[in-house]
Amino acid sequence: MTSVTVDPGRCTAYGICVGIHPDVFAIPAGSPLAIVTRNVLTDDDLEDVQEAVRACPAQALTLVEG
């Protein structure tokens, strides 16, 4: 089981992750940070989520295995 977390101390709501995979990441109106909308990632999600982890300018995203 793989999931992804957003570090609230780092995320500055740039929204790059949302642009890469809007099925997993979202920034609700008025929110200061991104949220994860799918607790367990599917195999199809992984490639885009890994790209989002690399692309996040705040290094706020972490993949969690297990």
Amino acid (one-letter) located at 13:
A
Report the distance separating Cα 32 and Cα 63, nearest Å.
Answer: 21
Q: Is 4 in the site for ligand SF4 (CB under 6 A)?
A: no
Q: How many residues bind ligand SF4 (CB under 6 A)?
A: 15
Contact between 34 and 56 (Cβ < 8 Å): no
Q: Is 12 in the site for ligand SF4 (CB under 6 A)?
A: yes
Interface residue with ligand SF4, options 35, 36, 46, 58 (CB under 6 A): 58
Interacting residues toward ligand SF4 by CB under 6 A: 6, 11-17, 25, 33-34, 56, 58, 60-61
